[in-house]
């Protein structure tokens, strides 16, 4: 099960993710949170991936959709803290 905790650091919205990103309803909430923040005028979103031990291709698709939403809104969306396993998936799919 994926949980998302929101916090603000200055003018940056940080989404702390904890759990697997598998493309299910909890994972889709990532994009919902990003869209909500963008709608409120947030220009910078940081996704903390330190608590994500596993991701599949559907989960990667959700992250890509969040990035596209940010780009269309002229906002910045970045992520950090991916484990080596998650980073390997992102690299294999060609995201990084």
Q: Where are the beta strands (DSSP E) in the chain?
A: 3-9, 12-18, 44-51, 76-80
pLDDT for the residue numbered 10: 95
State the residue for tokens 């294999």: 92
Could you report the per-residue pLDDT of 19-43, keeping only the tens digit for each?
999 988 989 999 999 999 999 999 9
Whether the full predicted model's pTM is greater than 0.75, yes or no, is yes
Taking a C-beta distance cutoff of 8 angstroms, is the pair 15, 4 a contact? yes
């Amino acid at each position: 099960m994926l949980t998302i905790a929101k916090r603000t650091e200055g003018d940056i919205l940080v989404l702390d993710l904890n759990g697997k990103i598998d493309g299910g309803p909890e994972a889709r909430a990532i994009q919902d949170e990003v869209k909500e923040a963008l709608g409120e005028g947030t220009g910078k979103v940081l996704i903390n991936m330190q608590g994500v031990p596993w991701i599949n291709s559907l989960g990667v698709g959700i992250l890509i959709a969040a990035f596209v939403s940010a780009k269309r809104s002229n906002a910045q969306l970045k992520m950090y803290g991916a484990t080596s396993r998650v980073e390997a998936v992102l690299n294999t799919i060609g995201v990084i």
